[in-house]
Amino acid sequence: MRRMLWQVSYALLLMLCSIVGEARAQEITPRCPAPSTTILLNMMRHTPGAVIRELRGDEATVAIGIFNLLPPVGDERGDRFYIALLPGAPLAHLLVASHGCIENGAVVDIHTAAVIENAAKKVGAGISL
């Protein structure tokens, strides 16, 4: 009887600890659900020959501004802009990142990606649009 009481109390304590642990785990949210380095490395591993261009500073600001004008119109903010493409493919991936996390992305045709990159490079070079 004494041994059974000890086992039951141990089981109740274990159950209580697991409930409290589960409740605390639900309160914790991940700081960065999509780290940009992980996403970009996966793209490069799974798509041999992929080219990823990174835009920073003023170039990224211009590229994100143009990205926000694409349908559906958005209001993304970020400090990096990535253009991922496979040479010869008709589509490109546009990614907006902020503080190392991918905030948003879109798949567009290669010509739209080229226009965004060229506009951003012109502003980065000091040429007004």
Q: CB atoms < 10 A from the CB of 67, how many?
A: 22
Consecutive 10-residue averages of pLDDT for the chain (129 residues): 51 48 48 85 89 92 91 86 93 92 92 94 70
CB hemisphere CA count around 105 (13 angstroms) = 16
Give the predicted TM-score (pTM) of the model: 0.71
Using CB atoms within 10 Å of the CB of residue 125, give its burial: 0 to 12 exposed, 13 to 18 middle, 19+ buried. Answer: exposed
